[in-house]
Amino acid sequence: MQHDIQIKRAYDSTLSRYDYSSAFQYIKPAIQSADIAIGNLELTLAGPPYKGYPRFCAPDELAVSLKEAGIDVLVTANNHSADRGKDGIIRTAKVLDSLNIQRTGTFIDDSDRKKIIHCY
């Protein structure tokens, strides 16, 4: 989950980009030591504008840092999965797929659901 202050603090104005790498520096060893690390992605990756409460949407760089920290699977079904509607659900799935982060919970369509369910 990302609140406005977390999104703001992740922004590096000198590089004009978001960077979440420091957010996971202390827990990265524990995550990477797990056989499988599963997290709850309680937000969307729907693209700008980025916002915290009440309709959460974080920059894609958060997912990149989660992957680099060792997260293997993200669960996307929660009370914020539809904060940006159907387009937010679809874009979130596509971003996670592009990063090769396994996902479950919300799906692009029925064929996507069948594909995801059968890979487990």
pLDDT, tens digit (0-9, with 9 covering 90-100), for 87-117: 999 999 999 999 999 999 999 999 999 887 7
Look at residue 73 and give its three-state secondary structure: strand
DSSP calls for 23-63: GGTTTHHHHHHSSS-EEE--SB---SSPB-TTS-B--HHHH
Average pLDDT for 38-60: 97
Average pLDDT for 14-25: 95
- What's the pTM value of the predicted model, to 2 decimals? 0.93
Q: How long a stretch of residues is the chain? A: 120
CA distance 30 to 28: 5
With 0-12 / 13-18 / 19 or more C-beta atoms within 10 angstroms meaning exposed / middle / buried, residue 45 is buried
